[in-house]
Chain A
Amino acid sequence: MKRSFAVVTDSTADLPREWRERYGIEVVPLKVLFGKETFRDGVDMNNEEFFRRLAASTTLPTTSAPSPGEFADVYRRLARDHDGCISIHIGAQLSATAEAARVGASSVDGFKVEVVDSQTVSMPVAFLCRVAAEYETLEAATAAVRPRVPKTRVLALLDTLRYLEMGGRLSRAQAMIGTMLDLKPLLLVANAEIKPVDRVRTRSRAISRMVDYFKGDLPVEHMAVMHAQAADEAEQIADALRRDLPGREVTVGQIGCVLGTHTGPKALGLVYLKS
């Protein structure tokens, strides 16, 4: 049976193209600003172009949420052939996107929009969208998605904290690396908080800590390995997980432009939805 409602998310969900088509999910882009030039994440600029430009740019880009008006436009269009929608977005602690969606929705009369603050970022948001898309009614989808929000986890391993820090999302002190030594912080996004779970000096140690932490959180409903220009390492991690968890789907995904602005290149993520 065809779903009567629409599923909407934003570009920071890192929704794989294939899922987008298979589940019919609408993606509203955030924006990346290089100086005065604005690009819609994943629309005017793809990941490769973004990181190429990031490497060449002398000033760091900034990012911005879609405006309430942009959301309103999307909802108005969807209202033509849907009786409502669930709009699942990047955590409000990280971005004004969910707020913009809410304000945008309030300006569209007669169309029910359930805005969900996912409290997280990247593919866990896509997991929630996938969960929603499996249901036939908006009520059932919402009832399935909301209790899963506290179960989203993002383990992030950044090659440098510079980008996150410049974007104002986390200070060196908060990441426990208030020092001149080049430390690799392992960060966890859970329950609307970013917190450091470990700090180590080398990347391979950090990767094994990340995998160990993940294993301590099993069982999981969905999982993925995310990367920004670190495909080989991401595939290695995914292969190891597939060996440890036979028969389970381990997706490898790419971090988009807006997220990449805050993670910088060579970031790795192990993201999942706890059972």
Chain B
Amino acid sequence: MVATKTLGVDGPLFKRALLGSLTWLGANHEEVNRLNVFPVPDGDTGTNMLLTLQSAVEDVKESNAAEVSKIAKLASHGSLMGARGNSGVILSQIFRGFARAVEGKSSLTPAELAAAFEEAANAAYRAVNKPTEGTILTVAREAGRAAATAASTPDATVPRVIAGAAAGARAAVQKTPSQLQILRDAGVVDAGGFGLQLILEGMLKTIEESDPAFAALAESKKPVIPAAQVALDLPEGGWGYCTEFLIEGANLDTELIRGQIEALGNSVLVVGEPELVKVHVHTDDPTRVINLAGGYGKLLKLNVGDMSTQHRRILETEGGGQGAAHRPNGIGIAAVVAGRGLVDIFRGLGVDAIIEGGQTMNPSTQDMLTAIESVPYDEVILLPNNGNVIAAAKQVVGLTKKKVHLVETHSVPQGVSAVVAFRPERPAAENLRAIRAEAERVQTIEVTHAVRDTRSNGVKVRKGDVIGLINAKLEFAGDDYAEVVKQALGKLGPDSYELVTVYRGEQATDAEMSKLESEIRSHYPGLEVEVQQGGQQHYPFILSVE
């Protein structure tokens, strides 16, 4: 095997190896995405790693450098410039460590290659604030160790060292669930670690192609990937904000900056060169981080993401949103709402306190008072959202030291419009004007059953009839929800409106829901129809028309 023994890693070979990694990761990055549960299950680890690797290879592609050191340096710089997400940043540090280790070398012997793999892992460990085992870090270290073992044998060759690294990575990936509880619970291996394994396997495949004699030696097997993304409990205090940026400056001291950033959050990564430093932190106070970093130089590629929202989106149980943000005008909102879906909708729009209640379960003045006191602002907008609640709501205004603005919303649609119009940076007077105007603009259709024989507004109804109310006034009776809604929309004049939002009540069946929806669509094709699970009692359907 003389030919194999003389094969060293020079610039062209390393370049081909990197391109091979890119191809292999590119072919498999969706699988990496599916494994992503830590630290935020946003399903983009594979994409982030791929984009980082692409960036690493971007300049390498254009280079014909003979020296491995030059290619490694290009990859290091490129990956730092394009690093995305946690795993991407760690990957950029692996490249950086590798580049440092091979500095000044034109070609690597098997032992030098193994040493570079080990140094790459060490650099990655140093870059991370609190290294977590069972992640890409562990996989990098085990790959380095396995490479060193392969290099220490008498018949060590470059392909064997890379094969050793890939096998070490594979074994380490399989062990990640035993190191990290969250992976064990999810029944998956670590996504970032798996990504690194793919990168090493891609290199191996390339080397095999350059050296057919070697091809039989190593067989790259893909691990069996257990099922995908899982629900995780939201940690107390939320996930905070994922804050990422580059600092461009002179003589930047990564150690010093890291120390200061660490005080402001977790999952801290501060890496880079004296002229360009990449910062990644999960923090509750991104503004402080940005202000601190801004003192060191120019901030580039600033990106702040609310991880709680990302997290909830993954779980498809959204909420919070605006509620989590700071309210510059210091005004809170309390709303009377019944029905699980409606409660979620109001919370999602930024309502601070919900008072359970409505048509048949009118909340007491005390209930409303308690809710208002729980709002963390001294000025509170109160939305009764039901005509029967307004009287009790009026009582509340004088009972608290807080300044309470009662906006007399008579229905759920009015309440929703009111909250949508609320803007956290507008002063109270302006907000109240906008909120009242919006609440008055929306038309409400409520569909329910008559509880007794009666005659109202010229409409004769018998107990049990389906009745339709427009803005709380009885307008139609019949025996079919869809028919009553059709008449009510006809009376409002569908040409003057664009959007019908249907809040589906607890007792409405799927068949009734789909019939109602299709009847509206076919009779009033100019109207957009949106269906929301309201979960309210007594009203199978509440419709907002605007």
Which of A's residues lie within 8 Å of B, judged by CB?
Answer: 36, 62, 64, 67-69, 92-93, 96, 99, 103, 168-169, 171-174, 176-183, 198-205
Contact = CB atoms under 8 A, between A and B. Distances in A.
27 contacts: A36-B26, A64-B51, A69-B59, A92-B300, A93-B301, A99-B300, A172-B306, A172-B309, A173-B320, A174-B306, A176-B424, A178-B320, A178-B321, A178-B324, A178-B348, A178-B349, A178-B350, A179-B318, A179-B319, A179-B348, A180-B318, A180-B345, A181-B345, A181-B349, A183-B420, A199-B420, A202-B498
B423 interface: yes
Contacts of A199: 420
A92 B301 contact: yes
A178 B499 contact: no
B303 to A, nearest CB: 6
B58 interface: yes
Contacts of A62: 47, 51
B325 interface: yes
Contact of B321 (A64, A92, A172, A204): A172
Given A96-B81, A200-B420, A201-B420, A178 B322 contact: yes
A2 B321 CA distance: 54
Contacts of A201: 417, 420, 499, 501, 546
Contacts of A177: 321
A85 to B, nearest CB: 21
A99 B528 CA distance: 43
A92 B322 CA distance: 26
B313 interface: yes
A99 B318 contact: no
Nearest to A203: B498
A87 B500 CA distance: 48
Contact of B313 (A36, A64, A172, A202): A172
> Which secondary structure dominates chain A's binding surface?
loop
B476 to A, nearest CB: 25
A62 to B, nearest CB: 7
B348 A181 contact: yes
A69 B62 contact: yes
B345 A204 contact: no
A125 B310 CA distance: 31
Contacts of A181: 345, 348-349, 416, 420, 501, 530, 532
Nearest to A59: B30
Contacts, number: 97
Contacts of B51: 62, 64
Contact of A171 (B62, B306, B498): B306
A9 to B, nearest CB: 19
A67 B81 CA distance: 10
Interface in B259-309: 300-306, 308-309
A69 B321 contact: no
Q: How large is the interface on B (under 10, 10 to 19, 20 to 34, 35 or more residues)?
A: 35 or more
Contacts of B59: 67-69
B82 interface: yes
A28 to B, nearest CB: 15
Interface of B: 26, 47, 51, 54, 58-59, 62, 81-82, 300-306, 308-310, 313, 318-325, 344-345, 348-350, 416-417, 420, 423-424, 498-499, 501, 528, 530, 532, 546
A199 B424 CA distance: 12
B299 to A, nearest CB: 9
B414 to A, nearest CB: 13
B302 A93 contact: yes
B499 A202 contact: yes
A182 B499 CA distance: 11
A62 B51 CA distance: 10
Contacts of B349: 178-179, 181
Nearest to B47: A62
Q: Sort A-B residue pairs by CB-CB distance and give the 3 closest, nearest first.
A: A178-B321, A179-B348, A173-B306
Contacts of A200: 420
Contacts of B350: 176, 178
Contacts of A198: 423
Contacts of B308: 173
Contacts of B82: 96
Contacts of B313: 172
A205 B424 CA distance: 20
Nearest to B62: A69
A62 B26 CA distance: 13
A178 B532 contact: no
A135 to B, nearest CB: 26
A62 B313 CA distance: 20
Nearest to A176: B322
Contacts of B62: 69
